[in-house]
């Protein structure tokens, strides 16, 4: 093999490794999302959560208390947390790891 062919093969193998890692991370994110949607005061199994998130769910299943909790409380809360990046900046800790709380703006509130 020439140097160019070896480089091309190496890049292809590296691309495949990155795709596998991305797929694994997506699966872990999906599993964590299902677990997070099921965790709460009512512990709902992940398989049931996945079934309740089906867009073609029949009307009888949509009106169950579990479905209402998942679809109208937990899912919007989860999507809002993902959309905002988790904790708001006002709750972030300082760089030294102490208990001081940083303000997101130069104005200090008390």
| Residue 105 confidence (pLDDT) | 52
| pLDDT band (50, 70, 90) for residue 102 | low
* Runs of H (alpha helix) within the chain: 3-38, 46-52, 59-62, 65-69, 75-84
Give tens-digit pLDDT for 63-100. Answer: 999 999 999 988 888 888 878 876 545 445 555 555 55
User: pTM to 2 decimals?
Assistant: 0.55
Query: pLDDT confidence of 1, banded at 50, 70, 90?
Result: low
106 pLDDT more than 80 = no
Q: Which of 37, 69, 65 is nearest to 50 (CA)?
A: 37
Q: Do 52 and 61 touch, CB atoms closer than 8 A?
A: yes
Q: What is the pLDDT of residue 14?
A: 95
- Polymer length in residues for the chain: 110
pLDDT of residue 83: 81
pLDDT score of 4: 86
**Per residue in 6-50, pLDDT tens?**
989 999 999 999 999 999 998 998 888 888 888 888 888 888 988
């Amino acid at each position: 093999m020439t140097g160019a062919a070896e480089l091309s093969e190496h890049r292809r193998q590296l691309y495949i490794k990155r795709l596998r890692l991305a797929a694994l991370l997506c699966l872990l994110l999906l599993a964590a999302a299902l677990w997070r949607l099921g965790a709460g005061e009512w512990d709902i199994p992940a398989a049931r959560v996945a079934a309740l998130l089906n867009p073609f769910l029949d009307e009888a299943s949509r009106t169950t208390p579990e479905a209402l909790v998942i679809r109208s409380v937990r899912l919007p809360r989860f999507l809002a947390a993902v959309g905002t990046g988790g904790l708001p900046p006002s709750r972030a800790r300082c760089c030294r790891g102490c208990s001081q709380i940083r303000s997101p703006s130069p104005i200090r509130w008390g």
